[in-house]
Amino acid sequence: MENMKAVRIHKYGGPEVLIFEDAPRPEPGSAEVLIRVRAAGVNPVDWKIRAGYLKDIRPYTFPLILGWDVSGVVQATGPGASKFKIGDEVYSRPDSARNGAYAEYIAVKEFEVAFKPRSIDHVHAGAIPLACLTAWQAIFDTAGLRAGQKILIHAAAGGVGSFAVQLAKWKGAYVFGTASGRNQSLLRELGADEPIDYENTRFEDLVHDVDVVFDTIGGDTQERSWNVLKKGGFLVSLVAPPSAEEAAKNGVRQAFIFMTPNGAELTEIARIVDSGKLKPVVETVLPLPDARRAHELSQTGHTRGKIVLGVA
């Protein structure tokens, strides 16, 4: 069996458990492609899994390769794989029950893969899949956001939020977004109609009667969000199940979602990127062996856009 370089963990713990080392190179299975990784996006779920926060709901065996965002080149195809050929430039949010993309190679099911946007490089494409699919599935597939509606997006400068703002504008919605003072101009560049500095303004003083609240923060932020929705509105959260009782009391709907891999939606997203209407914000690019630093930065909770690991 051939080896490759990868960043693996052998136990749960702090950033120091991320080890850059040799690992077996995967083989593409049935209806899978082997991708030569050029870039791996970093997401908060990576450090949450590394720290063991999700061990009760997602049992993993060690050693484990983290990272479920990839852009790269098809190196080989498995039996029955027919959609892609060797040399195709692709991107994917692979199945997080398996080894991830902090590595030179990853095997991925074809249905989780799409051609990457042609107009951007691998580093920018690798920033897209997990966060952008999450935004898409929350605001479109779940909350049904339509043109002319109003949406409040919390953490609008973060990985998911920065895509959500642009997607909502692409759809023709009116967008309120929260971020700290240092990110107000970024929100405007992304297209937010009313950026809100959460350090100096209570969003509920400015926002009323929105159709959708996209909650990426939870806690007090989620609690205070019920009052800004109009009757029949929708609160969709990524981080904490909203109370069904509160929803009924306010005459609104609610959902807590986990994003799922989806190559077809990534194809649509690539089309929007190539039309110039959607652009990943990449704050930091680090080489693969610096995954530890990437986790330290992500854990601050103040990433602007995305952090990406480039794989030489």
Ligand X SMILES: NC(=O)c1ccc[n+]([C@@H]2O[C@H](COP(=O)([O-])OP(=O)(O)OC[C@H]3O[C@@H](n4cnc5c(N)ncnc54)[C@H](OP(=O)(O)O)[C@@H]3O)[C@@H](O)[C@H]2O)c1
Residue 119 corresponds to which amino acid?
S
Q: Looking at beta carbons only, is 161 or 280 nearer to ligand X? A: 161
> Least distance (Å) from ligand X to the CB of residue 303?
4
User: Which of 154, 169, 253, 295 is in the footprint of ligand X by CB under 6 A?
Assistant: 154
Side chain identity at 46, as an amino acid letter? Answer: D
**Taking CB under 6 A as the rule, does residue 131 contact ligand X?**
yes
Among 238, 252, 294, 297, binds ligand X (CB under 6 A): 238
Q: Give the Cα separation of 284 and 270 in Å (integer).
A: 22
DSSP 116-142: PPTTS-HHHHTTSHHHHHHHHIIIIII
Within positions 49 to 88, which residues make up the interface with ligand X, using CB under 6 A? none
**How many residues at the interface with ligand X, by CB under 6 A?**
30
Query: Residue 241: left (phi > 0), alpha (psi -120 to 50), or beta?
Result: beta
Q: Cβ closer to ligand X: 150 or 304?
A: 304
Give yes or no for residue 150 binding ligand X (CB under 6 A): no
Within 167-206, the residues that bind ligand X by CB under 6 A are 178-180, 183, 198
Stretch of 118-126, 150-158, 246-254, 270-278 contacting ligand X, by CB under 6 A: 150-158
- CB pairs under 8 A, 24+ apart, for 47-51? 47/15, 47/295, 47/298, 47/299, 49/96, 50/9, 50/12, 50/13, 50/15, 50/17, 50/18, 50/295, 51/12, 51/13, 51/14
Residue, CB closest to ligand X: 158
Does 261 contact ligand X by CB under 6 A?
Answer: no
Position among 44, 126, 129, 261 found at the interface with ligand X (CB under 6 A): 44
The DSSP secondary structure of 83-100, one letter per residue, reads S--TT-EEEE---TTS--
The angle subtended at Cα 253 by Cα 210 and Cα 205, nearest 5°, is 30
Q: Which of 265, 271, 263 is nearest to 119 (CA)?
A: 271
User: Considering the rule CB under 6 A, would residue 157 count as an interface residue with ligand X?
Assistant: yes
Q: Is 258 in the site for ligand X (CB under 6 A)?
A: yes
What is the contact surface with ligand X in residues (CB under 6 A)?
A: 43-45, 131, 134, 154-155, 157-161, 178-180, 183, 198, 216-217, 221, 238-239, 257-259, 298, 301-304
